[in-house]
Amino acid sequence: MHPSHLPAPIALRQADQLTSLVENRTVYTLEAFELNVFETHRTAHQVPLSMGNLVLTTMLRGKKVMHLAGRPSFNYLPGESVVVGQEETMLIDFPEADEDNPTQCLAVAIPNDTIRQTVDLLNEQQPRAEEHLPWQLDTLDHAHFQNTPELTGTLERLVQLSRDTGRVKDVLATFTIQEMLVRLMQTQARQLIFHNYKQHVTSHRFAAVVQYIKQHLTEQITVEKLSALACMSKATFFRVFKRELGLTPIEYIIQERLAEAKRLLRNPLTSVADVCFRAGFNNTAYFQKLFKQYEGMTPGLYKKQHAV
């Protein structure tokens, strides 16, 4: 787990502060949202939880197994988030929780008015690239996902504001929850396009762009070529791609090349220099710098730790 995907830790409650060993709840109520911190300190199964409003949950510690209506059960781990629909009941298992290894989870309950105002504003003023795919929150197909650094940063600010005592915290919280909703929808848009691009390659211009990048990863890829594929000017393509997906086309290319580099580094017979060029980079110093920036370690150390 890269540290940029995991929000800053929140101190656990002391034993004498707990009112329950299963889903002990600490609540911070603001005008724009309600933030909850849940802790579980013993194993438990099929624990029901319903929050009323739509909820964004984010795991901080430990492991849960989630059971949601209409979906197969799944492991829920730190650095991941789940969107749970309004009035939807979660059934949760805590197979490993104990005093030494408690689970801890954030749950941000968001009123419908806040969501509707944010979505309407985006659709009116910052529409997505395809008119048939307006901005909206997905509570089913793309509701379980790996956090992005941007979403994580917004969640950290929500926690800080919730615990603040300043007079203007509700004003700041309103802006921050709107930003979080935008980050959340961008994250879901990335899930749709980056992981399911083949299904949408004829109906979404960015899916065609993603397919081209994946097929030509080791070649020189220009923004001019990508913008032509998207049938947009270079400036419009760059701006709309970042607005919709939360990162620039160049950042996406770098991430894809680094993912390929990590795959190649797991082969014990490859050298770091060989991996650099095979993953589409043309300068080993630049490759090493980027790899450490994104992964928190050098390619050589990654190879030592992960070579099979």
pLDDT score recorded for residue 291: 96
What pLDDT is recorded for position 308?
74
Position 167 scores a pLDDT of 79
Residue with tokens 């928190």: 296
What residue numbers bound the domain in which 212 lies? 196-247
Residues 219 and 132 placed together within one structural domain of the fold:
no
> Quick one: 179 and 258 in the same domain?
no
Instruction: Verify that 53 and 176 share a domain, yes or no.
Output: yes
State the average pLDDT over residues 125-147.
Answer: 89
Are 124 and 210 found together in one domain?
no
Least confident of 59-73, 76-90, 115-129, 157-171: 157-171
As a whole number, the mean pLDDT across the chain is: 93
Residues making up the chain, counted from first to last = 308
Indicate if 166 and 263 belong to the same structural domain: no
Give pLDDT tens digits for 22-77: 999 999 999 999 999 999 999 999 999 999 899 999 999 999 999 998 889 999 99
> Do residue 161 and residue 32 come from a single domain?
yes
Domain tally for the chain?
A: 3
Rounded average pLDDT over 104-119: 94
- Is the domain of 126 the same as that of 55? yes
- The pLDDT of residue 5 is 76
CA distances to 85, 160, 219, 276 from 251, rounded to whole Å, are 31, 29, 16, 17
Residue 2 has pLDDT above 70, yes or no: no
Last residue within a domain, chosen from 159, 174, 194: 194
| Cα radius of gyration rounded to whole Å, the chain | 21
User: Do 88 and 233 belong to one domain?
Assistant: no
Crossing angle for the helix pair 299-306 and 249-265, to the nearest 10 degrees = 50
Torsion angles phi and psi, residue 299, rounded to 5: -60, -35
- In this structure, the answer to whether residues 25 and 154 fall within a common structural domain is yes
What integer is the mean pLDDT of 269-293? 95
Same domain membership, residue 143 and residue 226: no
Instruction: Tell me: do 283 and 145 sit in the same domain.
Output: no
Predicted structure pTM score: 0.86
Task: Indicate whether 178 and 162 sit together in one domain.
Answer: yes
DSSP 233: -
